[in-house]
Every structure is written in C-alpha cells, then in structure tokens.
Structure 1
Amino acid sequence: MTTEMLRSDAERRLSKKALNRSFWTWYHGSITGYNHQVMEGMSFATAMVPIVEDLYDTEEEKRDALQTYQPLFNTEMHMGFAVVGITASLEESKARGNEAVTPDMINGVRTSLMGPLAGMGDSLIPGTYVPILLSIALGLSAGGSVLGPLFYIIAWNVTMLLFVRFLFTRGYRLGVNSAKLLVGRQAMAIRESMVMLGSIVIGALAATWITITTSFTIDLGGTHVVDGEEVANQLHLQDTLDGILPGLLSLLLVLFAWFLLAKLRISPPLVMLIFAVIAFLGVLLGFFDPGLTSY
C-alpha cells in the first residue's frame, strides 16, 4: 500500500457495515470460540476483526491492534454486547490519535466490566427473564397446545435481539462513559429488583406446577358412622398437612432441591436421580400413591 493511500487519523471512522459485522460476529460466535485458556477471548478478538480492518490501513497496524485482544475475557454473552460496543468506540478513538487510549487502557476497561456484567447478566437473564417466559409458555401449553413453545421461541429471540442491539449501540455511542450506566448504583438497584422479581416468579411457578400428595394413613382403631355407613377410624396425613399449610409437601420438595443445588453443589442430573429414588421408595412403602401424585 502506498503512502498516498493511507488515511490520516482524522479520517478513520467506523462504518455501519463494520459495526454490523462486529455485532453479528459476537451474536453468532460469542461461545463458539470458548476455550479454557482465554475463555471467550478468541470470540471477542474475532468480533473485533471487522473493527480493526475498517480502522487501519496496513497489515502491521491491524496485527498490532489485534494483539490487544489476546488476554482472557469472560462474561455473560448477552451483556457482552455492551463491552464489544464500548471497545469498538475505544479502538476508533485510539485509531484517530487519542493518546489517552492505549491497549492497556482498553484491556483494563474490558477486565473491569466483564465481572460485574457477568453477575448482572446471569441473575437477570437465565435467573429471572427465562423463568418468566417459561412460566407464561407453560400456561399456554396446557392441553398440549403448540402456542407455548411458539410463544417462547418468538418472544425470546425478538426481545433478546432488541436488547443486545440496544446494549451494543449504546456502548459504542457512549464509549467508556457507558460503564457508569452498566455498573453504577442505579444499575445495581435494577439488578436487585429484578432478582427479587425472579424469586417471586420462580416461587409462583413452583406452587403452580409442582403438586405432591401422600396417601399415608394411620389406623386409630375402632369405627365410626359416615352417611349411614360404618368406616374405620383413620388419620389421613394429607388432610392433617392441608390443615397446617396447603401444599406443604410441594414446598418441602422445592426447598430440598434448593438445598441440594445451592448448598451441597450437587449437579442437576444427580438431583433428578435422587428425586426418582425418593419417589420409587415412597410408592413402594405406601407413602405416595402413583395415581394421586404428580411431579
């Protein structure tokens, strides 16, 4: 490339095409390049290739710019769109001659954001938003209706596409200043509110879809007359539990599952196996009636 073809620093601006390529590269490949050395670092570097190609003219400049993105990077993939947008803005500023923006500064921003955004994204998206959508989809799926899965597929893809596009665009426009919006006090308050909402939704979902009853009875001896018929005196455990707290067995199951997953760190497949063993033994011993109990 001749000197006459090189652009001045002031002429180096990102095009919409380059930004769109970077957006879709991260959208489709944020996890595909995952490895244990740099985690999402390879995917992040790949998402920055369109940015670097659009800003720099020589192969040496492009190579040096991509060296910036070798270190480890790992965050919740949807919230990661904000970091990609912010980094694109910083890279553009560096290419235009801003001496305050250095490779170390860019990596410092990436490192400082990936942790808080990972925690926020994990609690808001799989921890809150997904259960809300699933609870609605389960309700629509009653009777085998196809509306439930269709609703989830469409609602998830449309809303998340709009959400990540907003994060990417806002991150690019505000640059490093957008970090205050993402990890500031207001953002933390929103996160805590959404976590509380998610807990309420999960609790309501458990109370609606988990029903456990027991057929266990205790023979008290003797008989009594009911509607002109003589019946044995028996204590029905389920009636007693309903008098204390309706749905008590379902609540205990949910709390037990939480204890196994959160406190003992047992894997979900093993928890399911434990529940299967409990159900089998419960039916075998007469504590559960297969015709009356659903899981």
Structure 2
Amino acid sequence: METTNDMKKLDHKTLTKSFHRWFWGALTCFSQEHMQTFGYMASMLPILRKLYPKHDDQVKAIHAYTAFFNTNPMLGTVIVGITASMEQARANGKEIDGETINDMRAGLMGPIAGIGDSLIDGTLIPILLGISLGMSTGGSPVGAIFYIVAWVLMAYFGQRFLYFRGYRFGDQAVSFLVGKQGAAVRHAIGIVGSMVVGGVLASWVNVTTSLKLRGADGKVFLNLQDKLNSIYPGLLTVLVTLFCWWLMAKKHVSAIWTMLLLVVVSLVGVLVGFFNPGLSY
C-alpha cells in the first residue's frame, strides 16, 4: 500500500501546461469524425507524462482519450480539469479505469455543450457585440478593440478558472453548471442578453418604405411611411424582426438562409419601389 509520501501529485506547472494546450488547441486536427478528440489528447499529454514516468504506462493511459469527444470549448474546460483529477486518482491506485473516465466524459459533454452554446454563443457574445456596436458609432475603432480585448480576457481567464475548479473539486464542479443555481444564473444572464439585443435592434435596425401613391396630377396623396409612423413608429422594423425570429425559432431556418431571404426580399422591394436604398448612379 502506498503511503502519503508516495502519492503522485500534479503540480501547478503541469496543470497550467495542460490548460494552455486545451485553450490553444481544443480544435486541433478538427474533423467531423473526431471533433475535439486530438485536442483533448494533446491537453492530457503533460498530465500523463507527469503521472506515469514509464513510456508503456503512458501509452496505455492515453487510450482512454482516443474516444470521440465534442463539447463547447469554453465550458468544456471544466471536463478537462475533472479528467486531470481522475487521472491523478487512477495513478494513485484508486478504482478508476479508462472506461470510467470515458463514461464521465461522454455523460458531461452533451449537457455542457448545450449550456455553453446558449450561455456563451447565444448570450455572452451578443452582449459584447451589442456594447461594441454602441461604441463604434461614427466609425470609431474603439468598439472593435473593446470586443477583441474583452473577449480574449474573458475566454482565457474564464477557461482557466473552470479548468482549475474542475481539477480541484472533481465532478462537484459541474453541479453548479447543471444544477438549480446554475439554471437561475443562466436565466438571469439570458434576460440581460435579451435586453442588450433589444437595445441593439432599436439603435441599429431601421426598416422603412419609400412607397408613395400619386394621383393623376402627379401629387402624392399617400405616403405609406408617414401613415405607419402615425400609427406605430418603427412598425416595419418590428415586423421584420418578428419574421426573422419566426423563421429561425419556429421553422428552424438557419441564420444563413434567413439572411439570404432578406437579401432577396430587399432586392425585390427595390425593384418594385417599396424600398429605396438611396443610391445614385
């Protein structure tokens, strides 16, 4: 039986090296067949080299990480940290094998992906973009610089925090993300994100019509935009927004196809005189 002095322990330098490999290489050799498998394996190499001095033991241990893996790269960092903790326990003789580690990874990558995609891609990034757009008024580069700096800092230190929390607390670190407290936090952030996106919509989206009806004498007797403004200012903007939401949320049309449809509608609208881009040739 190993004594306390014989226990293998991962040092901070090794863990940091492992984290950096995941941060920079999570999508290394990315393909539809393997997704993040090779990036995961690369991040585990410093861990295995530290825990298993013999090359044969390293080769045996790395087979646990050859299975398919794919999740949200940012929140998925916590899974890599948990794996490092489990690998350390396995190296110290705990009843953990490669199948147990793979079961953990397979069980967490789906929920973490769902949470990460909605929280990061669907909430955090739109919030940052909304703030950046507001700072870019008049063509100022401040908004772009702010977005780049803010995103890099949040991505790096956020992932680093999750990695070391995953290593320190093991699978308990996930309970906050998938538990009731995590759900409440995600709901609150989602509300803030909706407010920011709504502010961006009101500030940057402006759909108007140039349609005017003229009488036999050539005088305008109906200016459609003026009539709409007297009824509901910004009505066309709201209708276009609701139409795009209906397509993507209810009909599951992708954002790319939605944008292409808007381009077609705009072109047709210009041709029939409903829209006026204000261009002169």
TM-score by length of 1: 0.86
Correspondence list, 1:117-266, <5 A: 117-219=112-214, 232=219, 234-266=221-253
Between the two proteins, the alignment pairs up a number of residues equal to 277
Residue segments in structure 2 that go unaligned for 5+ positions in a row: none
**C-alpha distance after superposition, 1:38-80 (max 9, x if no partner):** 3212211111111001001211211111111111111100011
Q: Distance in 1 between matches of 2:256 and 2:117?
A: 21
Indicate the larger mover: 12-21 or 176-185: 176-185
Give the 3-state SS of the residue equivalent to 1:215 in structure 2: coil
Aligned AA for 1:279?
S
Give the 3-state SS of the residue equivalent to 2:213 in structure 1: strand
Is the 8 Å Cα contact of residues 82 and 170 (structure 1) preserved in structure 2?
yes
Q: Distance in 2 between matches of 1:144 and 1:239?
A: 30
**C-alpha distance after superposition, 1:118-146 (max 9, x if no partner):** 11111111111111111111111111111
Matching residue within 6, 21, 26 for 1:25: 21
1:290 is matched with which residue? 277
TM-score by length of 2: 0.90
Aligned AA for 1:65?
A
Q: Distance in 2 between matches of 1:90 and 1:178?
A: 13
Aligned AA for 2:43?
A
Give the 3-state SS of the residue equivalent to 1:218 in structure 2: strand
Q: Which runs of 4+ in 1 moved over 6 A?
A: none
1:12 is matched with which residue? 8
Q: Distance in 2 between matches of 1:182 and 1:134?
A: 24
Is the 8 Å Cα contact of residues 207 and 251 (structure 1) preserved in structure 2?
no
Matching residue within 68, 74, 94 for 1:78: 74
Deviation at 1:111, TM superposition (A): 1.4
1:228 is matched with which residue? none
- Work out whether 1:66 is the aligned partner of 2:53: no
- Work out whether 1:96 is the aligned partner of 2:83: no
Is the 8 Å Cα contact of residues 9 and 96 (structure 1) preserved in structure 2?
no
Aligned AA for 1:41?
T
Structure number with larger C-alpha Rg: 1
Q: Distance in 1 between matches of 2:83 and 2:220?
A: 75
Is the 8 Å Cα contact of residues 283 and 289 (structure 1) preserved in structure 2?
yes
Aligned AA for 2:275?
F
Residue segments in structure 1 that go unaligned for 5+ positions in a row: 1-6, 223-230
Is the 8 Å Cα contact of residues 212 and 220 (structure 2) preserved in structure 1?
no
After superposition, the CA RMSD in angstroms is 2.3
Give the 3-state SS of the residue equivalent to 1:113 in structure 2: helix
